[in-house]
Amino acid sequence: MARVLTVGAAQLGPIEKSENRASVVTRMLDLMNAAKRKSCDLVVFPELALTTFFPRWYMTDQTEIDQWFEAEMPNHDTEPLFDMARQSNMAFHLGYAELCTKSDQTHHYNSAILVDKDGEIAAKYRKIHLPGHDEFDPDRDFQHLEKRYFETGDLGFPVFKALNSTLGMCICNDRRWPETFRMLGLQGVELVMLGYNTPVHYPRAPEHDHLQDFHNHLSVQAGAYQNGTWVAATAKAGCEENCDMIGGSCIVSPTGEIVAQCETLDDELITWNCDLDLCQTIQKNIFNFELHREPENYGLIARSTKGN
């Protein structure tokens, strides 16, 4: 019997700076209700789903910065999402800014969690490939200060056994790096959950602006095909605080084909019945890692360039 996971990619339209978390969660609950009607097993929300994309502003007051982070999960505002998961017997993936304390040290991460059908946090990932810069750049129409506000994730690229499948996570810029998908692929991943916030305008190469949607899908489709995995890639989209962001949320099959794609830049749900056993048609054949990889010749890939 085929293992079929019905997956929903729950795109969010713009979230303005003034919109509070409770309002955003209400929008997310509407999408979860739509997913319930489609009998989804899993709903994938975007990166930093609870707030506007705050790294576009330069801030120096740590209290002002920390207002965008979640010190607890769940918390008062997000508990309804967890309740919905339990009531609907439906898991969800949530991206958010995480503030945590370890060994009396405060840390800030761009994080994502998998919440299972019992409403319990089953897995966590912290973004590793942080794009942008860490100081104010006067030449930019808007900032991209992820390197200022977040630390590099410290959990690696784990996979998780859940929903009768092998699941992995990555966040936004991670998708552009083939090492992300390969690390998950080497562990037999069958579905990658991916949230992103991607602006249309790229200040350092504006001549590439018209390619942003293409590069998004190129990265996701290549990662899916080269590792024989499903990918549910979900955007925060539309014109948010005068910054245009791409949509293009999609579900991609292990053959690299887009099987479902959002048509708008607003709140929108797409779904697909993902046959997890299709992963084996790729993983046991052209990308059979055990038979065909040559890791002894890949040393340069893992060589550190930091400090050089």
Name the residues annotated as catalytic.
Answer: 47, 127, 172
Distance CA(45)–CA(172), nearest Å, equals 12
Distance CA(59)–CA(44), nearest Å, equals 30
30: CB partners within 8 A, 6+ apart: 267
With beta carbons less than 8 A apart as the criterion, state whether 276 and 5 touch.
yes
Distance CA(156)–CA(10), nearest Å, equals 25
Distances (CA, A) of 152 to 156, 182, 204, 253, 308: 10, 19, 22, 29, 19
The DSSP line for 14-68 is ---TT--HHHHHHHHHHHHHHHHHTT-SEEE--TTTTS--GGGS----HHHHHTT
Of 186, 149, 147, 180, the C-alpha closest to 166 is 186
